[in-house]
């Protein structure tokens, strides 16, 4: 289906779902993509034209005519006309105001989207409250959406909410509004060497350290104990990132409760994930304290990140981690180093990502 996706100048944003089957375009802030089904139409037209050719040839042979009738021009005009008219993206009918919010209610939200995909095919459109979401399934269309020559980074929707505090001017790599953002460009250029194969290989001792803590915990629990695998893998991921990136230990495997930073991050992520769901709307309308809790969680995350940066400046080390790369690195384009606010913001986004 090469060349079948065209960008229409409406604002939407790219949202990648945690499944190899699915990706989605959330029309909050990027561009609404319509798929032209002219390829299929062309195939049908070509088949019809070929049938007509065969009939014409048979008639010509019967009439002893030596002229072969072709329909190349007809196919070209058919292709041009079908290319010029985008096909409306299908999708389930929604309810007034709620849209398709009820269609997306499921104990495992991704299962609801997969069911809709089974019904409506490789691309479909949903409306959640006042927001349209175009969902694309399959690698073929997904590969087209990943073409950086045709599509660009633009943080919106749930991703933008993670960095929506107007008091915070710095934007991290994952939450910067676009690749044109100066903060994004500076962090990108400084950190590129830090993500090379050799740099990642040097992080293996830290990764082994945290993985050993996980295995030891499971071994000590015994064979009869029911293990909360999802929770422990969250501990594994966050502890590994914190130790590798900033030489900081959450020590999640030594406590029943998560570190306060992780609890705050889960609150913020939960708010972002529920923003378009019915439960999230009810919480915001009926529980005003919920908004205060989210604001407090954001402040705790920001304060922790600032303290990490300040502690490293007060107690410098020679360790080759991401925090040192951000503190001591200079932008090869401008020659400038990163300000502390931007460093702290990127520390947060590494953990969230």
Average pLDDT per block of 10 residues along the chain, 353 residues long: 36 36 38 34 46 51 40 38 60 88 84 91 85 84 82 66 58 77 90 86 95 96 91 93 94 91 86 59 56 86 93 93 93 93 90 78
CATH 1.10.630.10 domain span(s) along the chain: 189-352
Question: According to the model, what pLDDT value does residue 203 have?
Answer: 93
What does the alpha-carbon distance between residue 343 and residue 327 come to, in Å, rounded to a whole number?
Answer: 7
Angle at 288 between CA 282 and CA 293, to 5 degrees: 105
What does the alpha-carbon distance between residue 218 and residue 235 come to, in Å, rounded to a whole number?
Answer: 13
Tokens of 135: 């969902």
Sign of CA dihedral 78, 84, 85, 91: positive
Q: Is 146 helix (H, G, I), strand (E, B) or coil?
A: coil
Contact 116, 106 (CB under 8 A): no
What does the alpha-carbon distance between residue 343 and residue 333 come to, in Å, rounded to a whole number?
Answer: 18
Question: According to the model, what pLDDT value does residue 165 have?
Answer: 58
What does the alpha-carbon distance between residue 152 and residue 13 come to, in Å, rounded to a whole number?
Answer: 9
- CATH of 189-352 among 3.50.50.60, 1.10.3430.10, 1.10.3720.10, 1.10.630.10: 1.10.630.10
Question: According to the model, what pLDDT value does residue 210 have?
Answer: 98
Contact 51, 36 (CB under 8 A): no
Question: According to the model, what pLDDT value does residue 157 have?
Answer: 60
Tokens of 205: 């001792």
Q: Is 181 helix (H, G, I), strand (E, B) or coil?
A: coil
Helix (H) or strand (E) holding 126: strand 123-128
- Over its C-alpha atoms, the chain yields an Rg (Å, rounded) of 27
80: CB partners within 8 A, 6+ apart: none
Contact 323, 312 (CB under 8 A): yes
What does the alpha-carbon distance between residue 243 and residue 208 come to, in Å, rounded to a whole number?
Answer: 11
Question: According to the model, what pLDDT value does residue 270 have?
Answer: 77
What does the alpha-carbon distance between residue 143 and residue 21 come to, in Å, rounded to a whole number?
Answer: 12
């Amino acid at each position: 289906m090469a060349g079948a996706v065209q960008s229409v100048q409406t604002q939407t944003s790219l949202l990648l779902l945690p499944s190899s089957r699915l990706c989605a375009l959330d029309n909050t802030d990027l561009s609404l993509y319509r798929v032209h089904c002219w390829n299929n139409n062309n195939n049908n037209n070509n088949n019809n034209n070929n049938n007509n050719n065969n009939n014409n040839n048979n008639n010509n042979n019967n009439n002893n005519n030596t002229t072969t009738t072709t329909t190349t021009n007809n196919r070209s005009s058919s292709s041009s006309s079908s290319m010029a008219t985008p096909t409306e993206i299908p999708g389930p009918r929604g309810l007034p105001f709620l849209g398709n919010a009820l269609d997306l209610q499921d104990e495992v939200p991704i299962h609801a989207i997969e069911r809709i995909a089974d019904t409506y095919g490789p691309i479909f459109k949903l409306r959640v409250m006042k927001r349209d979401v175009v969902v694309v399934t399959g690698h073929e269309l997904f590969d087209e959406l990943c073409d950086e020559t045709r599509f660009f980074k633009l943080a919106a929707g749930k991703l933008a909410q993670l960095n929506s505090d107007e008091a915070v001017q710095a934007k991290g790599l994952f939450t910067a509004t676009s690749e044109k953002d100066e903060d994004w460009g500076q962090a990108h250029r400084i950190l590129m060497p830090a993500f090379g194969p050799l740099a990642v290989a040097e992080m293996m001792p830290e990764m082994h350290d945290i993985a050993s803590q996980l295995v030891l915990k499971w071994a000590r629990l015994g064979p009869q104990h029911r293990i909360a695998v999802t929770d422990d893998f969250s501990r594994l991921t966050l502890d590994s990132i914190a130790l590798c990136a900033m030489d900081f230990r959450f020590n999640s495997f030594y406590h029943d409760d998560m570190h306060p930073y992780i609890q705050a991050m889960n609150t913020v992520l939960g708010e972002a994930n529920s923003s378009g769901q019915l439960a999230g709307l009810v919480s915001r309308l009926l529980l005003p304290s919920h908004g205060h809790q989210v604001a407090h969680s954001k402040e705790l995350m920001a304060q922790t990140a600032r303290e990490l940066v300040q502690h490293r400046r007060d107690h410098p080390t020679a360790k080759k981690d991401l925090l040192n790369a951000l503190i001591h690195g200079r932008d090869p384009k401008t020659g400038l180093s990163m300000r502390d606010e931007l460093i702290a913001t990127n520390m947060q986004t590494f953990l969230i990502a």
